[in-house]
Amino acid sequence: MSETHWQSGRLDGFRGPKALLFGRVYEDSAIEAGVFPAGGRIACIASAGCTALDLSHQHAVTAVDLNPVQLAYAQRRAAGAPPEEGVAERWMARGRLGLRLVGWSPERLETFLGLADPAAQSAFWRDRLDTRGFRLVVDNVLRLTLLSAIYAAPLLQVLPVPFGPVLRSRLQRGWSRHANRSNPYARALLLGDLTPPGRPAGSPIRFVCSDMAEFLESCPPGSFDGFSFSNILDGAGPAYRARLFRAASRAGTKASMMVHRSFAEPDPDMKWNLAANDRSLLWGVVSVVPLH
């Protein structure tokens, strides 16, 4: 049995069938590609398959997900199927529709996304997008009371309060660092473009439907050179966290690296946080740590 909310296969706290939650991955796989040794054996969370597909060009990838609907989708995509909308994309589309009311027209967003100079992007953001109307909408929509209609309590627990201003400052940080024109994650966020950033799979990906900790516990020691855990710990308690790290230490080599993300704000003394380097712009923590 898994001790995590994700076991329900839903973003909300209701009972019901497991759903396709994510039509694409909002995590910059360049972080993983820059950390894992070329040719290494990598265990990653499957989600919508984007990270697994990207890594499969340089690595031997095992993609694991406990949601069979999500895993089947990642498998279809690795076989060349087109992207589909998940629950997250449907909510984001509603949010984008609301932002049209405060001037975020597709034309304005296309102009912004066509920029490549971070200084010009920051100026455009300040003058044309980060308006008082935008701040009002975002800060109110991202209140916990409203979010709790969409997300189950365990997924919300990690969010900094108030989340709106924190998210706005993460976006601002991203525009001031990464060229929009070549940033597929910015397009996905602002326009809902599901086109994957990568190419079709390089080497074949092994897909496993399982809880990640349970899967790693079943693997021989030294099976993997790297781990990409998405933000599965947002939604799991401390006992699961300890179990996952223990299982990864055992299933990894002495040199294995682990990448995991969180919507939480980082601890002030955190050493290896690459959140600012992640072009998907959303994360408070992109932790890159050696397992031993």
- The residue to which tokens 């969409």 are assigned: 150
User: Which of residues 3 and 139 has its CB atom nearest to ligand SAM in the complex?
Assistant: 3
Least Cβ distance, residue 125 to ligand SAM (angstroms): 22
Least Cβ distance, residue 142 to ligand SAM (angstroms): 17
Q: How far apart are the first and last CA of the chain?
A: 27
The interface with ligand SAM within residues 54-113 (CB under 6 A) comprises 64-67, 70
User: Which of residues 83 and 115 has its CB atom nearest to ligand SAM in the complex?
Assistant: 83
In the stretch 207-246, what mask flags binding to ligand SAM with x, by CB under 6 A?
Answer: ----xx-----------------xxx--------------
Least Cβ distance, residue 62 to ligand SAM (angstroms): 12
Give the CA-trace dihedral at 19, 24, 28, 30, to 10 degrees. 120
Among 8, 29, 47, 273, binds ligand SAM (CB under 6 A): 47
# residues near ligand SAM by CB under 6 A: 21
Which spans of this chain sit near ligand SAM (rule: CB under 6 A)? 2, 4, 6, 21-22, 25-27, 45, 47-48, 64-67, 70, 211-212, 230-232
